[in-house]
Amino acid sequence: MTIKEYIKARKEEIKAEVAAMPKKPNLVIVQLNEDEASKAYVKGKLKDAAELGINAKLLKFPVEMSEKALLKEIAKLNKDKKVDGFIVQMPLPKQIDEEKVKLAVAPEKDVDGFHPMSALNPCTPQGIMNYLKHEGVEFLGKNAVVIGRSNIVGKPMAKMLLKESCNVTVLHSKTSKEDMARYLKYADIVVVAVGRQHLITKEFEFKPSAVLVDVGINRDENGLHGDIEPGMPVALQTPVPGGVGLLTRLALMENLLKIGR
């Protein structure tokens, strides 16, 4: 099933689940930045929530907001019984320490899964795992290569693949092309989250049975591009746009329902 088909089917299930709930879940999205990618994410999240019957509210603050003022707003949301879950859209402006913010969100309301005590996983790797499982991808004893080591994607992705008993290798932007080629040649599952347009090209050799997941979102005058060249000769390659971004948004709604239940 393509990602678009999968999202459509899952949304129908979630819609039915929400319709049967005596009280609709309440999500709050806190946004301080004005960057284009974040605007698109937030718009997408609000659209998904509306479509699924979830109450979502955008709480927008000026980019100049102080860390102290933001932490105060977070404390308010933590206490607000009407709010089931909330997220603080990343990246945050320079004057604010993102790690402090992640720790300030009450773990039981942390639908982003960013707090170390959160019972939930970060949305991007969670959304990817859900889709791969749905597609019947095998994990046990398989060679998984994660390229990228961010706290939001690379690290939690590696952890989740390890939990499924993959042999996990984590590479990153400083890995040489020669080394990358050596690892990719034997890879069964590859997740690329570096943020460099077409870092992975057809120059690299892959198993025909390989599964390639592209987390990259690189924008230029021609539109959005992934970290992987389109049309790789493999079993499955997720598209950009219309790929992991949609899975991430879906996982956020699924995380919210897990809290609301």
Contact residues: ligand GUN, CB under 6 A: 41, 87-90, 112, 123-124, 248
CA distance 98 to 96: 6
Residue 45 among the catalytic residues: yes
Smallest distance, ligand GUN to C-beta of residue 136, A: 26
Dihedral (CA of 102, 107, 113, 115) sign: positive
Give the nearer residue to ligand GUN in terms of CB position, either 26 or 124.
124
Pick the catalytic residue from 48, 84, 110, 112.
112
Pick the catalytic residue from 31, 45, 102, 188.
45
Smallest distance, ligand GUN to C-beta of residue 53, A: 21
Smallest distance, ligand GUN to C-beta of residue 123, A: 5
Q: Is the peptide bond before 241 cis (omega within 30 degrees of 0)?
A: yes
Residue 237 among the catalytic residues: no
Residue 35 among the catalytic residues: no
Dihedral (CA of 71, 83, 54, 107) sign: positive
Strand partners, 220: 223
Judged on CB neighbours under 10 Å (0-12, 13-18, 19+), 213 is: buried
Give the nearer residue to ligand GUN in terms of CB position, either 168 or 252.
252
The structure tokens 């570096």 sit at 194
3-state secondary structure of 253: helix
With CB atoms as reference, the residue minimizing the distance to ligand GUN is 90
3-state secondary structure of 130: helix
Give the nearer residue to ligand GUN in terms of CB position, either 7 or 87.
87
Give the nearer residue to ligand GUN in terms of CB position, either 187 or 252.
252
- Are the C-beta atoms of 56 and 88 separated by less than 8 Å? no
- Eight-state DSSP code of residue 198: T
Residues in the chain: 261
Smallest distance, ligand GUN to C-beta of residue 231, A: 26
Pick the catalytic residue from 31, 89, 126, 237.
89
CA distance 237 to 73: 41
Smallest distance, ligand GUN to C-beta of residue 112, A: 5
CA distance 177 to 32: 37
* H or E element in which residue 159 lies: helix 154-163
Give the nearer residue to ligand GUN in terms of CB position, either 28 or 232.
28
Give the nearer residue to ligand GUN in terms of CB position, either 124 or 143.
124
Residue positions annotated with a catalytic role: 45, 89, 112
